[in-house]
Amino acid sequence: MRAWLPVLIAIAVIALESTDLFGADRTSAPLRWLYEHLLGPVGDQRWKLIHHYIRKTGHFTGYGIIGLTWLRAWWMTAPRWGFWRCSLMAVLGTVLIASSDEFHQTFLPNRTGLFSDVVLDTCGAVVLQLLAFLAFRLLQPRTA
């Protein structure tokens, strides 16, 4: 249970964010308010682009973190598989969740389900797992 609880929490967060409450039409105003309070006023056209990049960065980062929760769970459950097999299973889990999320969004009036978002989400998972691999390699004690 300890291994898989973070995965379940991450899936629950995605399920919440996949609702119409978190569509671009509803996140624009609060994010713009925050942006303008931190960085100053921005024009409407420029804001549309910035908002788009904020949302896509959220996809990449959020699903990257989800990929790490999957990796951790597989590593704790089946350490004998080794890093790469656990990583592959983590990426497959991320693809499954991302695909389900985008499919669900096709049924919501203010959301769109995009294959490109699944690709972006998967890239986030792969990149963060590669960074985790590099961190493990760098932190691993060296033998003579």
Q: Residues 19-48: pLDDT tens digits?
A: 888 888 999 999 999 999 999 999 999 999
Q: DSSP letter at 111?
A: -
Helix pair 83-105, 115-139: axis angle to 10 deg: 160
Q: Which residues contact 123 (CB under 8 A, 6 or more apart)?
A: 60
Per-residue pLDDT, 143: 66
Cα dihedral 114, 96, 93, 1 sign? positive
Distance, in Å, from the CA atom of 69 to the CA atom of 48, rounded to the nearest integer, reads: 32
Q: Residues 80-116: pLDDT tens digits?
A: 999 999 999 999 999 999 999 999 999 999 888 899 9
Q: Residues 120-134: pLDDT tens digits?
A: 999 999 999 999 999
- For the cut 80, the answer to whether the pLDDT of residue 79 exceeds it is yes
pTM metric for this prediction:
0.89
